[in-house]
Amino acid sequence: MPRTKGNKNRPKTNTTKDYASQIAERQESIVSLTAEIASITANIDTLKADLKEKKAKADAKVAEEAKKAEAESVVCG
């Protein structure tokens, strides 16, 4: 009967793992990633507000220029 490959021939490793330290590391990682996500979200919100403000100014300027052009065409025409 042939021998099965795999587990029997593998060298024995230390099977006692420190699960508590692994869990602590993962929890620290989660906390740091959550903080990073919060800061990025806050940055995005401020950038959106700035964009909205600049867009409103640009739209007002375009409307003003359109009124001036319309007034000039009426005067000249």
- 15, pLDDT greater than 60: no
Report whether pLDDT(9) > 90: no
**pLDDT above 90 for 10:** no
Q: How far apart are CA 6 and CA 73, in angstroms?
A: 89
Looking up tokens 């959550």 gives 34
Average pLDDT of span 33-48: 97
Please give the Cα distance from 21 to 68 (Å, whole number): 70
Determine what percent of the chain is predicted with pLDDT higher than 90: 52
pTM: 0.57
Other C-beta atoms closer than 10 Å to the C-beta of 40 total 10
Please name the residue that has the structure tokens 């919100």.
45
Q: Per-residue confidence at 35, pLDDT binned at 50, 70, 90?
A: very high
Q: In angstroms, rounded to a whole number, what is the distance separating the alpha carbons of residues 68 and 47?
A: 32
